[in-house]
Amino acid sequence: MIKHLLTILVALMLWVPNFASAADPKVAFIYVGPVGDGGWTYAHDLGRRHLEKMGVETTYVESVPETDSERVLRNLARRGYDIIFTTSFGYMDPTLNVAKQFPDTIFMHASGFRTHDNMGNYFARMYQARYLVGMVAGMMTKSDKIGIIGSHPIPEIIRHINAFTLGVRSVNPKASTQVVWVNSWFDPAKEGAAANSLMDNGADIITITTDSAAATQTAAKRGLYSIGNDSDMTLYGPEAHLTANIFNWGIYYEHIYNHVKNGTWKPSSDWWGIETGAVDLAPFGKMVPKNVQDMVMAKKAEIASGEFVVFKGPIKGQDGSTAIAAGAVPSDQDLLSMMYYVEGVVGDIPQ
């Protein structure tokens, strides 16, 4: 009897939840923008296509308003998809609501922080690549003025603007970045107008936290430079596009798929860094000198090895006061809630 009880106890200790209801899980995605946006959604869809190349059955729903996401999620769960990836911060609470209603389905939410028995969240440390493309901008600018088109003033975007500016000023302390907010993830008309406004004010390089290639196309028309976002945007302006910070989501999606298929998936909060390959740089444009490329790639290796940390003090705030004390490294929670500008950023954070 005792032996029997011990056998049961050991079995319980080794048991892990297995949410996969099929030998080959079916995977669905919902996107906030169109798959052809060239940026955020396009990068996620490249990850989906990576799964398809593995033979995985997938589907997606694009341009889903965050206010309508709960209905779309519920529909996908009813259709029997085993894993559902939701790829916008605004999908977080709707994802949690639907996850509670479909306990046998795995939900993974990008860029948020909530978890549940069958829901995890994930992101990649894009701020590391932002620092590197900032170095490129700092060494390539002639006017020492660099424009940033901001999407929404949330901590993720503020963190990326700060990392970019730290990269700029690490190689060019005289340079500054100016932010224009468009309050949209994808609005090519607004993004183009914002790019023109920044260049009219002297910026000779434009980067974005939005999703379209409008800024690159506008910079190309004016004979100036741009830095893309989330995916390689060279196609939209080969003579303008210096490089871009990019996601390689396929690596992560394959990781989650395999864990679900093997019955080893557990809810977690993943934040993968540049050492995993989940974030990287697009190829340099031919106008970027080799010495610039070499400096950036050397810094990339330092970040990947842990020798260099982007947000390590001393770092000054926009007003010159101490934002991060000498030697201090903010916690992930501090980074995830960052709502201040570092020194070198021009403009205010909308309230």
Query: What's the pLDDT score for residue 351?
Result: 83
Digitized pLDDT (tens) for each residue of the chain, 351 residues in all: 333 433 333 333 333 444 444 589 999 999 999 998 889 999 999 999 999 999 999 999 999 999 999 999 999 999 999 999 999 989 999 999 999 999 999 999 998 899 999 999 999 999 999 999 999 999 999 999 999 999 999 999 999 999 999 999 999 999 999 999 999 988 999 999 999 999 999 999 999 999 899 999 999 999 999 999 999 999 999 999 999 999 999 999 999 999 999 999 999 999 999 999 999 999 999 999 999 999 999 999 999 999 999 999 999 999 999 999 999 999 999 999 999 999 999 999 998
Contacts of 14 (CB under 8 A, 6+ apart): none
Residue 89 CA to its chain's centroid (Å):
11
Contacts of 347 (CB under 8 A, 6+ apart): 178, 179, 180, 341
Q: Could you tell me if 304 and 278 are in contact, meaning their C-beta atoms sit under 8 angstroms apart?
A: no
Query: What's the pLDDT score for residue 37?
Result: 84
Q: Could you tell me if 217 and 192 are in contact, meaning their C-beta atoms sit under 8 angstroms apart?
A: yes
Return the closest-CA partner of residue 138 out of 126, 129, 130, 146: 146
Q: What angle do CA 153, 217, 234 make, to 5 degrees?
A: 95
Bridge partners, residue 122, by sequence:
110, 270
Contacts of 279 (CB under 8 A, 6+ apart): 124, 125, 126, 128, 129, 245, 246, 247, 248, 272, 273
Q: Is the preceding peptide bond at 314 cis, omega within 30 degrees of 0?
A: yes
Query: What's the pLDDT score for residue 7?
Result: 38
Query: What's the pLDDT score for residue 52?
Result: 98
Q: pTM of the full predicted structure?
A: 0.89
Helix orientation angle between 126-140 and 290-305, rounded to the nearest 10 degrees: 160
Amino acid residing at 341: Y
Please state, in angstroms and rounded to a whole number, the distance separating the CA atoms of residues 289 and 318: 31
